[in-house]
A and B are shown apart, each in its own frame.
Chain A
Amino acid sequence: MTSGPDDRWDDRVRDAYRRPLAGEAEARQRVLARLRHEPGAPTRGRGWWLDPDALRAPPLLAAAAVIVALAIGAWSGARWAGARHDRGAAIVAAARPFRATPASTAVAGPTTVTFAFRAPGASRVFLVGDFNGWDPDATPLRRAATGEVWTVDLPLPRGLHAYAFIVDGADWSVDPSAPLAPEATFGRRNALLVVGEGGAL
């Protein structure tokens, strides 16, 4: 079998491919290095949790994930703190005719408390306390059908609250049947109210 011009050309091409290229070793290392960083590449000698490329996500999605995680943590912490806050606080209605009693209770969130104040002859009664910033105009009471008792329902957060009633814009009156604050800081004592998990004192 004789070799023609075409066969010689094939041999020359084959020889050219077999000759080592300049810098081939470095190129091989570069290729292998990139392959190691491709997704799905095996991580030798360590778990996926130590692989810096194990988790891949767009930055906005990652930020959203972190925000959600932090929000869940803050919410859980707030619930835990709230549960600790007034564990053991009891529901006890204050004696009549002045009273602050729970109208309804909720495990989480504010407790609605009914404040009632007996003020025959009054033309207007307002409730003031730390829950409304001691604003004399924020929380008016409504006159009941009897005309002597004034009431208002107010959702209050858990905790210890101080309050008083203002009759006809001038007379600051304390609820005499409720626990009293130990100090008359500004000349008059306040009544105290404890709102806990089970309701309000």
Chain B
Amino acid sequence: MRWSAWAFAAGVALAMLAPLSARADESAEARLRARLGPELAPQVIEIVRDAAAQSLPTAPLVARALEGASRQAGADAIVAAVRRQASGLAAARRVLGPAARDAELEAGAGALLAGVPEDSLASLKRARPTGSLVIPLVVLSDFVARGVPAVNASNTVLSATRAGAPDPALLRMRERINERIQRGEKPAGASHAGLRELLATTSPGRDRGATRKGAR
């Protein structure tokens, strides 16, 4: 068979497979149309398509719109929330780089939108250049949500990550800090104390020499 025939075969194969990749997008758009109605859906779909053109994850945008619909938010609020989410994802991509995973972008967007400085995210990326940043970013966002000032929360997670704390250690630190906050400690002070506890007990890391005094 000549090359032209192989090219034809490849074309047929691509034509058959292309709809599979597009089906997810069509399904999401159909779901948006069904849930948001004919006036709101096109506005959201336009934002989603724009995000897709930038290679940003679109699932968080669709989910945000559907959440707004389920919470019976107004059309303007839904569009604003989706647009804000898209800008957060774009900013997270800018900071974390093109290789960042979707979950990292989503968590990073949440942190940025909550007021965490971009520099802090970049530092976090440098502190853990190859591993996943999802758990550190989720922990960071949780601190902010519970009232820890964004700068303090960033410093806490960054210091712990630089010390080589693995994800389970970060999660334990989160629980301890939350317990302190629930007992009435000020969030900033609780995060500082939680970090000290973690550094005293964490596995060997870059900063272990500085924290050996407190080790058990």
Q: Interface of A with B (CB < 8 Å)?
A: 52-53, 55-59, 62-63, 65-67, 70-71, 74, 81, 84-90, 92, 95, 128, 130, 133-136, 158-160, 162, 172, 179-183, 185-190, 192, 194, 196, 201
Q: Which of A52, A88, A90, A162 has a CB less than 8 Å from the CB of B63?
A: A162
Contact of A67 with B114 at beta-carbon distance under 8 Å, contacts A87-B132, A160-B107 already known: no
A130 to B168, CA, bound (A): 25
How far is the CB of B2 from the nearest CB of chain A, in Å? 6
How far is the CB of B4 from the nearest CB of chain A, in Å? 9
Residue on B nearest A93 in the bound complex, by CB: B171
- 18 additional A-B pairs beyond A52-B3, A85-B102, A130-B59, beta carbons within 8 Å, are A53-B1, A58-B1, A70-B14, A88-B131, A89-B132, A90-B167, A92-B171, A128-B67, A133-B63, A160-B107, A160-B134, A162-B67, A179-B174, A180-B142, A181-B110, A181-B141, A182-B116, A186-B73
Task: Say whether A59 contacts B73, CB under 8 Å.
Answer: no
Q: Which residues of A contact B35 (CB under 8 A)?
A: 133
How far is the CB of B196 from the nearest CB of chain A, in Å? 21
Contact of A183 with B142 at beta-carbon distance under 8 Å, contacts A89-B167, A130-B63 already known: no
A185 to B84, CA, bound (A): 10
Task: Say whether B71 contacts A90, CB under 8 Å.
Answer: no
Chain B interface, >50% SS class: helix
Residue on A nearest B88 in the bound complex, by CB: A183
B64 at the interface (CB under 8 A from A): yes
How far is the CB of B209 from the nearest CB of chain A, in Å? 24
Which one of B5-13, B43-51, B90-98, B187-195 is at the interface? B5-13
How far is the CB of B137 from the nearest CB of chain A, in Å? 9
The total number of A-B Cβ pairs within 8 Å is: 151
Residue on A nearest B111 in the bound complex, by CB: A182
Q: Interface of B with A (CB < 8 Å)?
A: 1-3, 5-6, 8-10, 12-14, 16-17, 31, 35, 59-60, 63-64, 66-71, 73, 77, 81, 84, 101-103, 106-107, 110-111, 113-114, 116, 131-132, 134-135, 138-139, 141-142, 144-146, 166-168, 171-172, 174-175
Task: Say whether A88 contacts B135, CB under 8 Å.
Answer: yes
Task: Say whether A179 contacts B141, CB under 8 Å.
Answer: yes
A190 to B66, CA, bound (A): 14
A124 to B106, CA, bound (A): 31
Q: Would you list 18 pairs from A and B whose C-beta atoms are within 8 A, ordered by A residue?
A: A52-B2, A59-B8, A62-B6, A65-B9, A66-B6, A90-B135, A90-B167, A92-B171, A130-B63, A130-B67, A133-B63, A134-B69, A136-B70, A179-B142, A180-B145, A182-B144, A186-B71, A192-B141
Q: Which residues of B contact A159 (CB under 8 A)?
A: 102-103, 106
Residue on B nearest A136 in the bound complex, by CB: B70
Contact of A66 with B132 at beta-carbon distance under 8 Å, contacts A90-B171, A130-B60, A182-B114 already known: no
